[in-house]
Amino acid sequence: MELVEAIILSVLAASTPLLIAATGELVTERSGVLNLGVEGMMIVGAACGFGGAWLTGSIFIGALFGIVAGTLMSLVFALMALGLAVNQVATGLALTILGVGLSGLIGARFVGERITPAAHLHIPGLTDIPLIGRILFGEDAFVYFSLALIIGVWWFLYRTRAGLILRACGDNHVSAHALGYPVLKIRMLAVMFGGACAGLAGAYLPLAYTPFFIPGMTAGRGWIALALVVFASWRPGRLVIGAYLFGAVTILQLHAQGWGVGIPSQFMSALPYLATVIVLVLLSRARTGGSTAPAALGTVFVPDR
Amino acid sequence: MQAYQRMLDPTPNGLHSGESPLLQTLGLSKRYGDFLANDSIDIDIWPKEIHALLGENGAGKSTLVKAIYGLIQPSAGEIRWQGEPIVLSGPSEARSRGIGMVFQHFSLFDNLTVAENVALGLDGKESFKDMSARLEQVSKTYGLPLDPRREVWQLSVGERQRIEIVRALMQDPKFLILDEPTAVLTPQEADQLFIVLERLKAEGRAILYISHKLEEVKRLCDTATILRGGKKVDTCNPRLETAASLARMMVGGEIKEVKAAAGRQTTIPRLVVNDLSLTPDEAHGVRLEHISFELKGGEILGIAGVAGNGQDELFAALSGERLSKDPGTVVIEGIAAGHLSITKRRKLGAAFVPEERLGHGTAPRMRLSENALLTGHAASGMVHRGFIDTAATLKTVDRATETFDVRKAKRDPEAASLSGGNLQKFIVGREILRNPAVLVVSQPTWGVDAGAAAVIRQALLDLATAGAAVLVTSQDLDELAEIADRIAVMFHGHLSEPLATRDATREKLGLLMGGSSLEPKEAAHAVGA
């Protein structure tokens, strides 16, 4: 029982940064912009988040530093890809390279330092319930925030007019422009939201997951978040399933390797990817037609004036 | 100034006395680089007026209405609304002043529902629920039925246009711009639209009506302004003009009349369809039901019908984009071809021109020579041992350019850079130059100006005269009457018996297009005779 509880707790911890970063990227892509710089924004968010917390001693201010850093990184992308209409794929890749270098520079002086990680919730009575108590009522604030975030994004996209306009920009920017919507402005806001989420997801790693900063500590999570958005066919609900499934299989295969299951470790390491792809492909088969991807995704828009 | 304006006002005397025009442009110009798309255009639009805007493709109609709708800023001149100069920051400001627009190239979102599409065209002051209720009410009032919950990608062209019209009507506009609204409608649907427009006019609104159909303009419009090469040629009363005189003003010369060669001989059956039934591969497609016809060489068969009644599915089945399990359902040049791929059918001598020019007929971002190769690779000697013969592909472009008068900026531009009419001439030309035995063409002149349409129709007639079998699907009954020998109608996946064109009156075709059967009437005639 102890083991099951420990596994579920580590699954949630492993999944949360993926979920936060992927949520931001989902909103960005729904507006029609493909920002491949998630990994770069995350790692800069991690360095700045750790720096903020180390300097002030506050996890909250550290998280804010992460958010601001991610947003600033995304503004670089917005300036290039939206303002100057540069190819989005190239700009996003460049942003990741920039972010990896920049985070090394910013984080150099923090390497080897430690902070007190984010506190976990403790409600006497509730948190002490065996098995489910710590899982439901004993998480850190990031876990609860990530779930509120994805529910908020779902509500925004499907229940508000602003969300409808954002989806419209992603579906057909020419029509959205013809109806008088400021396509570039909307996309810039969506890109900034994606940057803020990526920065926060990056900051989660040194603030809650491991209480120290090392260069390259995002270890490809930004790329996984990008892939999750695609496999979730741009739907918030599936994104939650995908993120937790990926986290779960990652942790389980680690334990399985520890127990000495007679399967090559390379195959076990590939399992999370395989399982996520298979499940999300099965899910997306349910749709009978139309296009699942935002139709204008990754295309440059220059309004004629 | 007022008096001067009134003197120029061409509408019947006294109609506008004491009022000022609802909308006026004074010396409106729009320059793109060196190109003057609009050259100081003056136009007055009065309340209770249906004002036609005529001109060939590229005459500057779209630029003018975009400026009036606030989509682009004029380079010079001014726009007056109810007598006062205005500067429109964008379409939402135009809409809030009471200017509505129905676009020719629909400004719809394929992956959103009808209701969401309509909501995006409104200012969002009412709740989505109220808006949906009002949408259903407006669509009922004006006889434009729509299901608010369906997504646009599932709808036919005609239904899509209905969304645009309802969306514009829901803004309760004082002034409505319609860009070629009847291009995709049946005569009955068009008549119904005219009733809606007359009603809007009686309610005191003004309408700016862009159309290529001159008879329609004569029937419906009070005033007509004609543009040519970015300049205003004239403003006149279309009821006092003939279609020919209007066309002359548009083109600046005579339009060649389409002529069928006398004594065209029909030969052997070249395209035979036997009891073709096909389930659609997407949930909302139309099922083809027992379609049979026989098309001989030297003959043109027209297929009429409202968009979305199975014409797309029939085209896919004939071209080989959809395969049939039974090879005998489609017979090309005497060979059962129902199971053959599009390339194999091309090798049998068939050629296909789909409805959609960009994306289906051509790859928009590829050059014309590359697009020539895409349909010509199988049977036109453009490929030698796996290598492309660039000279041969360029030669095809040059021949099509020369034969069909394709106007373009460079020798071999991207397909998307051509205007609709010129691209269509290229696509039809590309297929005709392959000397096909069977040509299947869908909507050959949709959104194409009168000059280009005449060239394309003449080419189809000449091809039939040369012995080919030609199948033309079109929503334009005048076009079918002009070129087809027989006309059949598609409705809900069924194809009617073809009527000889001389017997196919608009009434009969209209009944068939609406799903009624002709038989009781025929029987009554027979009894009467």
Reported as a single tens digit per residue, the pLDDT across A48-94 is 999 999 999 999 999 999 999 999 999 999 999 999 999 999 999 99
Instruction: Please give the mean pLDDT across all residues of chain A.
Output: 89
Tell me: the pLDDT tens digits for B316-361? 999 999 998 899 999 999 999 999 999 999 999 999 999 888 888 8
3-state SS, residue B156:
coil
Highest mean pLDDT among A114-123, A257-266, B278-287: A114-123
Domain ranges of chain B: 47-72+88-251, 269-359+437-528
Which residue has 């006398």 as its token pair? B262
- By CB atoms closer than 10 A (0-12, 13-18, 19+), residue B190 is buried
Cβ(A209)–Cβ(A10) under 8 Å? no
Q: What is the pLDDT of residue A33?
A: 96
Q: CB-CB: which of A168, A177, A181 is closest to B112?
A: A168
Question: What burial letters (b/e) apply to B59-95, b meaning 16+ CB within 10 Å?
Answer: bbbbbbbbbbbbbbebeebebbbbeeebebebbbebb
Q: Which of B466, B473, B477, B357 is nearest to B416 (CA)?
A: B357
From A172, A288, A305, residue closest to B109, measured CB to CB: A172
Residue-wise pLDDT for B155-202, tens only, equals 776 778 888 888 888 888 999 999 888 766 667 678 878 888 898 899
Facing residue for A171 by CB, picked from B71, B95, B111: B111
DSSP A140: B
Q: How many CB pairs under 8 A join A and B?
A: 70
Residue B180, CA distances (Å) to A49, B144, B269, B521 in order: 57, 17, 37, 34
Token couple for B210: 């862009």
Q: Is the pLDDT of residue A289 over 60?
A: no
Distance CA B127, CA B465 (A): 60
CB contact (8 A) between residue A171 and residue B112: yes
> Is-same-fold flag (B47-72+88-251; B269-359+437-528)?
yes
Q: Where are the beta strands (DSSP E) in A52-101?
A: none
Q: Name the fold adopted by B47-72+88-251.
A: Rossmann fold (3.40.50)
Q: In the prediction, which pLDDT does B282 show? A: 67
Helix (H, G, I), strand (E, B), or coil: what is residue B164? Answer: helix
Q: What is the pTM of this model?
A: 0.72
CATH superfamily of B269-359+437-528: P-loop containing nucleotide triphosphate hydrolases (3.40.50.300)
Q: Do A180 and B70 touch (CB under 8 A)?
A: yes
On average, the pLDDT of chain B sits at 85
Best to test chain A binding among B109, B116, B125, B171 (most A CBs inside 10 Å): B109
User: Closest to A304 (Cβ–Cβ): which among B72, B93, B109?
Assistant: B72
CA distances to A118, B13, B166, B247 from B196, rounded to whole Å, are 66, 26, 11, 26
pLDDT band at A287; cut points 50, 70, 90: low
Neighboring chain A residues of B284 at a CB cutoff of 8 Å = 289
Mean pLDDT of B493-519: 83
pLDDT of residue B255: 64
User: Is the predicted ipTM greater than 0.85, yes or no?
Assistant: no
Is residue A24 very low, low, confident or very high in pLDDT (cuts 50, 70, 90)? very high
From chain B, the residues in CB contact with A175 under 8 A are 106-109
Residues of B in contact with A164 (CB under 8 A): 112, 116, 119-120
Helix then strand then coil, in percent of chain B rounded to 5, is 40, 25, 40
Residue of B104, B107, B132, B171 best to disrupt the A interface, most CBs of A under 10 A: B107
B460 vs A65: CA distance, rounded Å: 69
The Cα B81–Cα B47 span in angstroms is 11
Residue of A nearest to B91 (CA): A180
For the cut 70, the answer to whether the pLDDT of residue B11 exceeds it is no
pLDDT at B60: 86
Encoding tokens for residue B125?
A: 């002051």
Residue B151 C-alpha, separation from nearest chain A C-alpha, in angstroms: 9
pLDDT at residue B5 is higher than 50:
no
CA distance B507 to B61: 33
- When scoring B95, B120, B127 by the number of chain A Cβ atoms within 10 A, the one with the most, hence best to mutate, is B120
Structure tokens at B207: 């309408």
pLDDT digits (tens, 9 = 90+) for B408-446: 878 898 888 887 788 989 999 999 988 999 999 998 987
